[in-house]
Amino acid sequence: MTNSSDCGTEALPGLRHALLSDPGRRWPMTAAGAWILPFLGLALAVAMLGSLCIGAYPVAFTKVVRILLTLALPAPFGPDPTWTDAELAAVQVIRLPRVLLAMLAGAGLGLSGAALQGMMRNPLVGPDLIGISSGAACGGILAILLDWPPWGLLAAAFAGGLVALLAAWTLAGLSRGGGVLPFILAGVVVAAFFTAMHGLIQYTADPENKLPAMVYWLIGSFAGATSDKVAILAPPVLGAGGVLLLLRWRINLLSLGELDAAALGIRGSGLRWAIIALVSLIVAAQVTVSGIVGWVGLIVPHFARMIAGPDHRRLLPAAALIGATFLLVMDDIARTLAQQELPIGVLTAGVGTPVFAILFWRLQVRGWSHE
């Protein structure tokens, strides 16, 4: 047995001094990197307030702040005569649900991508690339075809996402070598299958009513944001996302690989399935309320890793904050860039594909673990 005094806390002050005096390259951890999450939180708050200000009907920043304070704490602030009913409606009814929806979707996708990439030790994994989004979308349009209520649509989208992920994992497991490429290829195959299913379902749908609803839903947009949709998305993102955050150090262990993790006493398979279920729930809920918003879950974790380092204790919250900010800004661009609103799925794909190409190039040149 190791002498317990060797691992006691009494040795800590001297060791900490040695750490602080280390001149080598360090990841931004502990005291040195403590500013990262507050900074990202602040950036998100600024983006949120800015998003509430801008639009076809601009509202002053101070009015937005006062409206939010009044909504949150009506008693001390009370009604403020400085804003008009139109300004209140723009902020409270139109923009706030949309901003909350974009933030929740972005946070959920960033968190899901970071958890999946960590768990699978795979830099090219994202919820949309490996078929989860396609599976969820397939379940969703099936629910539209069958006239299911919103919660039925959520359940169908969740089931579709889970089936897609299980199929990709099973297909990848059939390959002898394992590793990154088989999983990506399996995801591409599964996504292609579910895309074909989309086509089949759309082909059979009523072209007057259901087909436009399906196409509009699939293309990805926050334009139809309502407080009901926020109520659908918030519990999965906050609940499942909260559990993922609690599991964030375990994801470090899972990223070692199955055998190494087992040698450390981690029975990984149950934990992996739990993470898959949580991710599927988040992605399915996101697809349910805003359609397929691609690439966010793939590229946001890479940005987060560059800023916060590879430790999932910091990476997961950073990915959630960056994802929320990113999607919020993308949505602002979508609704303000042109006269007619752009689908956000198109914008994120426009940003995501070149970023993915750069990541792939880096992977070939340097190896992704040195990101």
Partner 1 sequence: MNDPAVVLSGVGHAYRPGRWVFRQCTASVGRGRVLAVLGPNGRGKTTLLRLILGTMRPTEGAVAILGQAGFVPQLFQVGFDYPVLDMVLMGRARRIGLLAQPSARDEAAALAALDRFGLVDLARRPFHELSGGQRQMVIFARALASEPEILILDEPTSALDLKNQALVLDWIRRLSHNDGLTVIFTTHHPHHALEIADDALLMLGESQFACGAAAEMLNEDHLYALYGLPLRRLSFEHGGEMIETLAPVLRIEPRAKTPG
Cα gap 42→29, rounded to integer Å = 19
Closest distance between partner 1 and the C-beta of residue 221, in Å?
34
Phi, psi for 303 (deg, rounded to 5): -60, -45
Of 102, 143, 247, 292, which one interacts with partner 1 (CB under 8 A)? 247
Of 72, 75, 264, 338, which one interacts with partner 1 (CB under 8 A)? 264
CB 105 within 8 A of CB 331: no
Of 51, 221, 255, 280, which one interacts with partner 1 (CB under 8 A)? 255
Of 85, 174, 265, 364, which one interacts with partner 1 (CB under 8 A)? 265
Of 92, 202, 226, 252, which one interacts with partner 1 (CB under 8 A)? 252
Phi, psi for 26 (deg, rounded to 5): -130, 150
Closest of 198, 366, 205 to residue 287, by C-alpha: 198
Q: Site mask, partner 1, residues 91-120, x = CB under 8 A?
A: ---------------------------x--
Q: Site mask, partner 1, residues 30-59, x = CB under 8 A?
A: ------------------------------
CB 18 within 8 A of CB 303: no
Binding span for partner 1 by CB under 8 A among 149-157, 263-271, 277-285, 336-344: 263-271
Of 15, 72, 75, 365, which one interacts with partner 1 (CB under 8 A)? 15
Closest of 112, 320, 128 to residue 120, by C-alpha: 112
Closer residue to partner 1 in complex, CB, 1/365: 1
Q: Site mask, partner 1, residues 285-314, x = CB under 8 A?
A: --------------------x---xxx-x-
5 secondary structure, DSSP code: G
Q: Which residue has the tokens 């989860």?
A: 132
What stretches of the chain show up as alpha helix (H) in DSSP? 12-20, 30-33, 36-53, 61-72, 74-77, 85-88, 96-120, 132-145, 150-174, 180-204, 210-219, 227-235, 241-246, 248-254, 258-263, 268-290, 296-308, 312-336, 344-365
Give me the residues that bind partner 1 (CB under 8 A), please: 1-4, 6-9, 11-12, 15-16, 18-19, 21-22, 24-27, 29, 118, 121, 243, 246-250, 252-253, 255-257, 259-266, 271, 305, 309-311, 313, 369-371
